[in-house]
């Protein structure tokens, strides 16, 4: 199998949408992309108990909350999740959640005392301590997420588009080639999906198909900006069939094995017409039908999808002959 690891692949293109007084605000740009369900991980506050009953109106004070992507940004008006916790753990050892809100800016009623306030936006979040005094008004709480967004996509070869159903991404914390060194943040991310993240560098793994087409990159997310990254796969989609004549119908009940040039098996299938995505290189296709075995060598070139046909009537398969390629 081929695993292609790099910091910034040749075709890794990055487009930034920054907040600016003269241009479109980044928080507005977030609306243009499909966003993930805001199921959120809350570090250090993930263990909390059932929310407490609301404070009596006579004792509570109204506290207003706003959140921004960065210091110069505008308050976010959607996609936020606010949670307020008591700092004193309950009998179960968890922090009681005393108030919550979803959407944009929030107004919550809190009795005088100390609290932890957490706001999350997708996978980005921040927590701070809040003191609600007994006397006087509570100033508006403006929390800066120090967050941006990442939108991922990939092509095969120079510019061959890949069906979204064939692509999946994983996002890990930190950079570097070894997944074991990082914590997995998100799995099975679909292409063209906006992922909100705290600013920093992330290790992204893109898988094309289910066999051996994998590419990696370290991508930086900046506060208040959306990073659009397109990764380049050195792979292609190949269609296999055993036929009685060239261009004929695929013969059923055929078992397939695909071997690399070194003889390692990378894929197996029992299908008349298997479709596999393979990384660039030389392979051997072996087809078993009834008591007969057929084989043929073929080459995969990046971005050039093609067909590999094995002839049933040809007793002596020419293992040196290249498979015919259809790039349409």
Provide the pLDDT for residue 324: 40
What is the pTM (predicted TM-score) of this model? 0.76
Instruction: For Cα atoms 15, 121, 185, give the angle at the middle one, nearest 5 degrees.
Output: 75
Provide the pLDDT for residue 177: 61
Task: Say how far apart CA 204 and CA 184 lie, in whole Å.
Answer: 10
> Beta strand 141-144 with 61-68: parallel, antiparallel or unpaired?
parallel
Backbone angles phi, psi at 26, to 5 degrees: -60, -35
Instruction: Choose among 31, 43, 114, 42: nearest CA to 69.
Output: 31
Q: Which domains does the chain have, with CATH numbers?
A: 3-22+147-233 (2.60.40), 39-144 (2.60.40.2190), 235-311 (2.60.40.1120)
Provide the pLDDT for residue 313: 73
Task: Say how far apart CA 276 and CA 273 lie, in whole Å.
Answer: 10
Distances (CA, A) of 218 to 46, 210, 222, 232, 266: 27, 22, 13, 13, 27
Q: Which residues of the chain have pLDDT under 70?
A: 1-58, 175-181, 314-328
Provide the pLDDT for residue 317: 47
Report pLDDT digits (tens) over 162-200.
Answer: 999 999 999 999 866 666 557 899 999 999 999 999 999
Q: Which H or E element spans position 193?
A: strand 193-198
CB of 246 within 8 A of CB of 33? no
Instruction: For Cα atoms 17, 176, 191, give the angle at the middle one, nearest 5 degrees.
Output: 45
């Amino acid at each position: 199998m081929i695993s292609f690891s790099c910091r910034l692949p040749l075709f890794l293109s990055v487009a930034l949408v920054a907040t600016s007084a003269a241009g479109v605000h980044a928080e507005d740009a977030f609306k243009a992309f499909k966003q993930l369900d805001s199921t959120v991980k809350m570090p250090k506050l993930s263990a909390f108990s059932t929310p407490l009953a609301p404070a009596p109106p006579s004792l509570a004070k109204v506290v207003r909350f706003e959140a921004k992507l960065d210091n110069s940004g505008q308050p976010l008006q959607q996609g936020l999740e606010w949670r307020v916790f008591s700092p004193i753990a309950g009998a179960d050892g968890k922090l009681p959640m005393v108030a919550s809100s979803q959407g944009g800016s929030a107004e919550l009623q809190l009795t005088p005392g100390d609290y932890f306030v957490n706001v999350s936006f997708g996978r980005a979040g921040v927590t701070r301590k809040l003191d609600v005094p007994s006397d006087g008004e509570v100033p508006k709480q403006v929390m800066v997420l120090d967050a941006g967004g990442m939108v991922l996509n990939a092509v095969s070869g120079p510019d061959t588009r890949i069906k979204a159903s064939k692509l999946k991404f994983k996002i890990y914390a930190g950079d570097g080639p070894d997944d074991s060194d990082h914590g997995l943040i998100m799995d099975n991310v679909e292409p063209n999906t906006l992922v909100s993240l705290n600013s920093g560098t992330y290790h992204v793994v893109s898988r094309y198909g289910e066999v051996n087409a994998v590419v990696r990159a370290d991508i930086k997310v900046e506060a208040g900006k959306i990073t659009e990254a397109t990764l380049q796969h050195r792979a292609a989609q190949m269609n296999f069939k055993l036929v009685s004549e060239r261009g004929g119908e695929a013969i059923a009940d055929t078992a397939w094995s695909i071997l690399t040039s070194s003889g390692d098996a990378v894929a197996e299938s029992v299908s008349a017409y298997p479709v596999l995505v393979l990384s660039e290189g030389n392979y051997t296709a072996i087809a078993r039908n009834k008591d007969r075995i057929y084989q043929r060598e073929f080459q995969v070139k990046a971005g050039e999808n093609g067909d590999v046909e094995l002839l049933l009537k040809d007793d002596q398969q020419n293992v040196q002959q290249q498979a015919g390629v259809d790039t349409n």
